[in-house]
Chain A
Amino acid sequence: MRYRTQSVAYAYFVVALLLYGLQMVFGLLAIVKYLGPDPIKAFLPFDVSKEIHTNVLIVWVLTGFMGATYWLVPEESRTELYSPKLAYWQLGLWTTAGVTAVVGYLFGWTEGNKLLEQPMPVKLAIVVVMLMFLYNIGMTIWKVKRLTTTEAVLVAGLALTAILYLPALLTFDNYTVSIYYRWWTVHLWVEGVWEMVQGGLLAYLLIRLSGADREVMEKWLYVIVGLTFIAGILGTAHHYYWIGVPSYWITFGGFFSALEPLAFLGMAIYAYMAMRRSGLAHPNRLALHWTIGSAIFSALGAGILGLAHTWPSVNKWTHGTMITAMHAHMAFFGAYVMIVLAMITYAMPGLFGHDQDAGESPTGLWAFWLQMAGMFGMTMAFAAAGISQTYLERILGLGYLETQHKIQVHFLMVFGTGLLFVLGVALFLFDFFFLAPKRRGAPPAWPAVPAEAKG
């Protein structure tokens, strides 16, 4: 930690990880309800579990992004934060808004608009938080007038995230029109400006971890975010095919969605080439795991598995089936969860006041591999469920309920692999909250690879 005010990131990471834990609880509840019958549906029905599962995800990933930015900007601009106090107030308001939303959902206080369920007062609080955040970051950079490409891409991504939240405040009587603008927020976040955030954080981590040349890394960063927007902006069309829009959106969607994997593949190649060229010498090998993992997992989950069902003649049959759940879980985890966990893992030794050598612990490695294995298994189980559902329900014409009955075994697999995943998350939290603070100053006394893994 080179700048004292970088420690603001710690508070953000604490909130992010606690919410990550909460997200797991509601994810497990949701899949148990798929197995049914559901004895608690009267006071906690499926829709509430699902709503909290997805909303908490968005909130904690954004908390992670903001914490990571507070960590990164002082280093890149070589100055202290403009106002750490404002950053803490911002986190307080943000957490209050988030907790209010979750408690509200439990009591049926919702706008019932997928992923944008936040009631209007919460939405307005989110806007205020975004403005506080951008003001603080903007003033920090303005103060010294030093802006690197890496942080420019990251901050621009977050500023655009704030701007693209504005359509979420609008309501329309025409359901088709309201879906049309809902995707401006949802799609252009996750398949647009959040990729700028991911790209910025990835570039920062690769430069720090591999010692790759900054000029080269930043040059290619522009190419990657350029590809993201070429494909991503008109790729929004793959959400529009069947909702009542003009038919040219089908052509747009088919063509530009097919290009969407390019940006993600670009990121994977980017990370791989950085490693090839500059080696893996950095002592924080756990942060390397998460960084490279994010580049590879997002290429698979967001790139390849997205392409698996965006082609119109495929999507016609798979639209609205578990195929979407297959893609969404691996994409979100690979692109956004893993990059935040990479930043947390990278910053951890600094935040806890010991040197980088203490970055790798057996618990941390187990947390990494269990989450990898769990998410891979869940993705496969969702894929099996989705493919079966598509054939039975959509092509063969079997009723929804009969189909769901026949694919129960895949939900059981989601549950089993989900447990592995949750165990990985629990170990990550345990490491962050209990083990890492104690490692202060102590040289690593453990082998680089867990004894169990060596067999």
Chain B
Amino acid sequence: MTKRQTRAFFLGSTGVFSLIFLAATIDSHRQFPTLTHSDQITPEVVAGKHVWHRKDCINCHTLLGEGAYYAPDLTKIAEQRGAPYLRSFLTDPSKFYNEERDRRLMPNQNLTPQEIDEVIAFLGWVGKIDTHGWPPRPIIVSGSTIPGANIGGAVPQAASNDPVAVGQALFGQAPPGCFGCHSTVRGVSLVGPSLAGIGATAEARVKAGDYHGKATDATSYIRESILEPNADLVVGPTYSSNGTSLMPPNFHETLKPEQVDAIIAYLMTLK
């Protein structure tokens, strides 16, 4: 091989592969609208993207797995947590996490309610991007998708008196041990049904023709399900047996009314 030949190899191969790269770029632009649902990029989503950049979120968090690794991935956060929870969290993160216990705490970004709604809209849009199935399993902020996986871990404690925060902590404590049978992640069914989107599910159950309980709305349905599990049975392989729910029947004795209220407040934020 001479120097002239190796130079030809360098220039030729670089040229060929640059052309392939450019062709694939043009084709990708053709497909971006479908893959990213670009028709759903509303002015609110764009405004949320600006908030995301202005507040430098990417230098702690990852989004689509890209960013820094100091804070959780947020690709699916809007679906996992829902707008009410995120609104409350972004208003004051210290209500939900305790820096002494969790070692890290998101500094309050002092966002206006409008900025909060914008960034939630942006994250909601990101969650719908076709990522070829990534993440392959849900990445969650805290807790576990498998009961008992947090071996040796600390029992969750609420960081404030906020009912949602109290409810979230109770959910992860045993007793009552809700987390042992219910996941909060869509599609992850343990012994009992997943509680992702429980508010909407409850709402639909109350209105269904075959519902015979006393509840009138989502909140009272969830309350009834906790305190009187047999009032309305949801069909599922391990949810009930011979017409009796497998949910512990004694929560009306073991939980205080305000604890039940807190758990309901938390569950209603799950989307």
Determine whether the beta carbon of B24 is less than 8 Å from that of A252. yes
Complex Cα spacing A218 to B57, Å: 45
Inter-chain contacts of B189 with A (CB < 8 A)? none
Name the residue of chain A whose CB is nearest to the CB of B97. Answer: A401
Complex Cα spacing A225 to B139, Å: 39
Inter-chain contacts of B71 with A (CB < 8 A)? 46, 400
**Complex partner residue of B17 from A117, A234, A239, A246, CB under 8 angstroms:** A234
A25: CB under 8 A from chain B?
no
**Complex partner residue of A112 from B9, B14, B56, CB under 8 angstroms:** B56
Complex Cα spacing A174 to B39, Å: 10
A439 to chain B, nearest CB (A): 39
Inter-chain contacts of A149 with B (CB < 8 A)? 3, 7
List A residues 99-145 near B (Cβ within 8 Å): 108, 110-114, 117
Determine whether the beta carbon of A219 is less than 8 Å from that of B56. no
Inter-chain contacts of B52 with A (CB < 8 A)? 112
**Complex partner residue of A222 from B7, B65, B146, B150, CB under 8 angstroms:** B7
List the one stretch of A33-41, A275-283, A290-298 in contact with chain B: A33-41
List the one stretch of A318-326, A343-351, A366-374, A422-430 in contact with chain B: A318-326
**Complex partner residue of B49 from A173, A226, A244, A325, CB under 8 angstroms:** A173
A204: CB under 8 A from chain B?
no
B258: CB under 8 A from chain A?
no
Determine whether the beta carbon of B140 is less than 8 Å from that of A46. no
List B residues 26-71 near A (Cβ within 8 Å): 27-29, 31-32, 35-36, 38, 41, 46, 49, 52-60, 62-71
A250: CB under 8 A from chain B?
yes
Determine whether the beta carbon of B104 is less than 8 Å from that of A45. no
Interface of A is mostly: helix
For the complex of A and B, the 7 pairs showing the least CB-CB separation, nearest first, are A397-B145, A320-B65, A47-B59, A36-B103, A242-B134, A112-B53, A226-B10
Q: List 18 A-B contacts (CB under 8 A).
A: A34-B70, A38-B104, A50-B68, A112-B55, A117-B56, A173-B41, A175-B49, A222-B6, A222-B9, A226-B6, A242-B64, A244-B36, A245-B32, A319-B134, A398-B146, A399-B142, A400-B71, A401-B72
Inter-chain contacts of B36 with A (CB < 8 A)? 174-177, 244
B238 to chain A, nearest CB (A): 19
Name the residue of chain B whose CB is nearest to the CB of A33. Answer: B70
Q: Known: A246-B31, A324-B69, A400-B139. Is A51-B59 also a contact (CB below 8 A)?
A: yes
B217: CB under 8 A from chain A?
no
Determine whether the beta carbon of A218 is less than 8 Å from that of B3. yes
List B residues 3-21 near A (Cβ within 8 Å): 3, 6-7, 9-10, 13-14, 17-18, 20-21
Complex Cα spacing A114 to B28, Å: 22
Name the residue of chain A whose CB is nearest to the CB of B21. Answer: A233
Complex Cα spacing A317 to B32, Å: 24
Complex Cα spacing A175 to B48, Å: 11
Complex Cα spacing A246 to B34, Å: 10
Determine whether the beta carbon of B2 is less than 8 Å from that of A219. yes
B5 to chain A, nearest CB (A): 8
Complex Cα spacing A219 to B135, Å: 45
1/0 per residue, CB under 8 A from A, across B110-135: the answer is 00000000000010001001111111
**B interface residues, Cβ below 8 angstroms from A:** 1-3, 6-7, 9-10, 13-14, 17-18, 20-21, 24-25, 27-29, 31-32, 35-36, 38, 41, 46, 49, 52-60, 62-73, 97, 99-100, 102-105, 107, 122, 126, 129-146, 149-150, 153-154, 188
Determine whether the beta carbon of A398 is less than 8 Å from that of B129. no
Complex Cα spacing A174 to B131, Å: 15
A282 to chain B, nearest CB (A): 24
**Complex partner residue of A220 from B6, B25, B133, CB under 8 angstroms:** B6
Inter-chain contacts of B10 with A (CB < 8 A)? 222-223, 225-226, 229
Complex Cα spacing A289 to B128, Å: 51
Determine whether the beta carbon of B105 is less than 8 Å from that of A114. no
Name the residue of chain B whose CB is nearest to the CB of A183. Answer: B66
1/0 per residue, CB under 8 A from B, across A406-430: the answer is 1010000000000000000000000
Q: Known: A244-B32, A395-B137. Is A401-B142 also a contact (CB below 8 A)?
A: yes
B172 to chain A, nearest CB (A): 10
Determine whether the beta carbon of A229 is less than 8 Å from that of B70. no
Determine whether the beta carbon of A219 is less than 8 Å from that of B3. yes
Determine whether the beta carbon of B56 is less than 8 Å from that of A223. no
**Complex partner residue of B72 from A37, A117, A244, A400, CB under 8 angstroms:** A400
Inter-chain contacts of B17 with A (CB < 8 A)? 229-230, 233-234
Q: Known: A112-B56, A174-B32. Is A226-B14 also a contact (CB below 8 A)?
A: yes
Q: Known: A174-B32, A244-B131, A397-B149. Is A51-B56 also a contact (CB below 8 A)?
A: yes
A392 to chain B, nearest CB (A): 8
Name the residue of chain B whose CB is nearest to the CB of A214. Answer: B3
Inter-chain contacts of B3 with A (CB < 8 A)? 149, 215, 218-219, 222
**Complex partner residue of A243 from B56, B66, B138, CB under 8 angstroms:** B66
Determine whether the beta carbon of A401 is less than 8 Å from that of B102. yes
A119 to chain B, nearest CB (A): 11
